[in-house]
């Protein structure tokens, strides 16, 4: 039976629970399937001890209790979810091994795990199991505190050369640190960083240690939940820095299934509208680019380098990615299947994976010039053409036109015609327009005009069959 504790050993075990139950706020106790009811109660008590000022509970239609975190980002000084990062558990052995191992390896030597365990016993008269010491050495190598090298079949561990303890520059001077941390500019910098950048909990921890608070900055639009993905983001950035391939464990939001994907991480993209973060990966198996949402990733594992040409292959993937990014609307590179060649290009220029979209707008050029401005500002490189007075067309090619549809639909009421090389997207657009028109024609008489009821407007398509079938 698990005992209750406010601290956690592994953050990944708590991340999904916090997001699903407290951020999205729609699940109940019966929806918890990863353990017993006692486990649920322990997790609930732990999280509510972290976020108690922000916990809100209510009963759904089935009279079952749901809990959620409610916080107004423009009124809080610090992201309340940072508390989850400050709750890592540790044991007395963790504390002792931290100081003893670093002191033992301070001479710059390299030793195996068994040799380290023996020396700890002889020097400090403390007996540790060699397996416990080995795990701590592996953990510190992973964290970048130690480095490892092989001599034959022996794996040796030693202190990393560029560690702060061996740096004699002013950066490690206590006088310099005290002067820096006491500066108002430093506190303002850390206060701004903790609320506006990835790994903001680091800045929050610095403020906690200095017993200071953020009294300057408030963010109107702050995507608080994405701090839960920072552990995943850190692994991705490490792999990108080391030019290593990774194995992703991705969970589908639609089916709930998980899949393992191997590839090379190349770029992190962040949505300015939702704050969602994506990693662009060149998949090893399919030899194509794909994007993955960080909040759907359960784990990231760095793989060993793929030979001496790994650096060259990584740089080539980055060059290929930069060429392809201009052909995307958002983060999607399409499904990789061949599509009908867009009619906008000459045969020699057509690309099998590209899709094209085109629509025509009607507007008052004198009073609605801002619509033209929107096309130019938000069109992301599309072609804008003036067909007639008050009639403008927009055309663009990209890998996945489905990503464009939310933007296209913001012009509803002005669209005269619409076409897409992907017939499924085109049919869905006209089906949505017809559904919307029916909603208005079926509304009470006082909410619509007689002219609308007799002649409801319809859009035109390049394919007459679409309108004929009512799609």
- Interval 205-246: pLDDT, tens: 999 988 889 989 988 888 888 999 999 999 999 999 999 999
Residue 349: is its pLDDT beyond 50? no
What are the DSSP E strand ranges found in 86-168?
A: 146-151, 154-159
What pLDDT sits at residue 93? 84
What pLDDT sits at residue 244? 92
Mean pLDDT of the 411-420 span: 95
What pLDDT sits at residue 337? 59
What pLDDT sits at residue 308? 65
Kindly report, residue by residue over 262-314, the tens digit of the pLDDT. Answer: 999 999 999 988 889 999 999 999 999 999 999 999 999 998 766 667 788 99
Mean pLDDT, rounded, of the chain:
82
Q: Which two tokens stand for residue 400?
A: 């996945």
What pLDDT sits at residue 458? 60
3-state SS assignment for residue 13: helix
Q: What is the DSSP string of 226-289?
A: GGGGHHHHHHHHHHHHHT--EEEEEE-TTT--EEEEEEEEEEEEE-TTT--EEEEEEETTT-SE
Comparing 155-164, 230-239, 358-367, 457-466, which segment has the lowest mean pLDDT?
457-466
Give the residue among 242, 239, 278 at the shortest CA–CA distance from 262: 239
Residue 36: is its pLDDT beyond 70? no
Residue 15: is its pLDDT beyond 50? yes
3-state SS assignment for residue 58: strand
Sheet holding 289-293, edge to edge: 289-293, 277-283, 258-270, 246-251, 297-302
Cβ atoms of residues 282 and 266 within 8 Å: yes
What pLDDT sits at residue 178? 72
Mean pLDDT of the 172-191 span: 76
Residue 343: is its pLDDT beyond 90? no
Kindly report, residue by residue over 379-414, the tens digit of the pLDDT. Answer: 999 999 999 999 999 999 999 999 999 999 999 999
Give the residue among 379, 400, 405 at the shortest CA–CA distance from 288: 400
Q: If you compute the radius of gyration of the chain from its CA atoms, what whole number of angstroms results?
A: 29
Mean pLDDT of the 444-453 span: 49
What pLDDT sits at residue 376? 96
SS3 content of the chain, % helix, strand, coil (to 5): 45, 20, 35
Rounded distance, CA 237 to CA 266, Å? Answer: 9
Kindly report, residue by residue over 98-129, the tens digit of the pLDDT. Answer: 999 999 998 889 999 999 999 999 998 888 88
- Quote the distance between the C-alpha of residue 399 and its chain's center: 21
Residue 187: is its pLDDT beyond 50? yes
Residue 69: is its pLDDT beyond 60? yes
Judged by phi (left if over 0) then psi (alpha if -120 to 50, else beta), residue 256 lies in left
Rounded distance, CA 298 to CA 305, Å? Answer: 22
Rounded distance, CA 196 to CA 217, Å? Answer: 10
Q: What is the DSSP pairing of strand 55-59 with strand 277-283? A: unpaired
Cβ atoms of residues 265 and 239 within 8 Å: yes
């Amino acid at each position: 039976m698990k005992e209750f504790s406010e601290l956690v050993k592994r953050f990944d075990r708590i991340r999904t629970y916090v997001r699903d139950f407290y951020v999205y706020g729609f699940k109940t106790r019966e929806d918890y399937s990863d353990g017993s009811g006692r486990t649920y109660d322990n997790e609930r008590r732990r999280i509510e001890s972290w976020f108690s000022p922000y916990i809100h509970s209510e009963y759904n239609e089935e009279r079952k209790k749901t809990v959620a975190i409610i916080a107004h980002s423009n009124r809080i000084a610090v992201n309340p979810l940072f508390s989850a990062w400050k709750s890592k558990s540790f044991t007395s052995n963790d504390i002792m091994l931290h100081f003893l191992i670093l002191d033992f390896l301070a001479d710059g030597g390299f030793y195996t795990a068994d040799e380290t365990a023996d020396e700890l016993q002889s020097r400090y008269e403390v007996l540790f199991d060699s397996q416990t010491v080995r795990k701590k050495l592996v953990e510190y190598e992973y964290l970048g505190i130690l480095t490892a090298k092989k001599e034959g079949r022996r794996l040796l561990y030693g202190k990393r050369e560029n560690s702060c303890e061996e740096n004699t520059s002013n950066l490690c001077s206590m006088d310099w640190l005290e002067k820096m941390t006491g500066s108002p500019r430093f506190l303002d910098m850390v206060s701004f960083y903790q609320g506006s950048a990835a790994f903001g909990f680091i800045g929050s921890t610095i403020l906690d240690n200095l017993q200071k608070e953020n009294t300057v900055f408030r963010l109107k639009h702050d995507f608080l939940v994405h701090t839960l993905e920072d552990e995943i983001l850190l692994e991705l950035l490490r792999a990108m820095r080391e030019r290593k391939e990774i194995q992703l464990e991705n969970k589908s939001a639609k089916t709930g299934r998980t899949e393992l994907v191997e590839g090379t991480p190349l770029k992190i993209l962040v949505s300015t509208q939702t704050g969602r973060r994506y990693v662009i990966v060149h998949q090893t198996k399919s030899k194509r680019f794909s994007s993955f949402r960080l909040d759907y990733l359960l784990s990231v594992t760095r793989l060993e380098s793929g030979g001496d040409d790994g650096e060259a292959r990584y740089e080539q993937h980055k060059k290929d990615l930069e060429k392809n990014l201009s052909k995307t609307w958002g983060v999607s590179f399409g499904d990789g299947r061949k599509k009908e060649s867009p009619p906008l290009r000459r045969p020699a220029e057509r690309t099998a994976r590209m899709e094209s979209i085109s629509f025509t707008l009607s507007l008052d050029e004198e009073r609605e010039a801002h619509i033209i401005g929107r096309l130019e500002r938000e069109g992301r490189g599309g072609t804008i053409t003036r067909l007639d007075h008050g009639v403008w067309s927009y055309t663009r090619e990209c890998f996945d036109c489905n990503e464009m549809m939310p933007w296209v639909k913001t012009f509803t009421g002005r669209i005269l015609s619409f076409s897409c090389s992907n017939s499924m997207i085109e049919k869905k657009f006209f089906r949505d327009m017809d559904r919307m028109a029916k909603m208005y024609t079926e509304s009470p008489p006082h909410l619509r005009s007689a002219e609308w009821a007799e002649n409801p407007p319809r859009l035109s398509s390049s394919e007459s069959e679409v309108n004929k079938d009512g799609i």
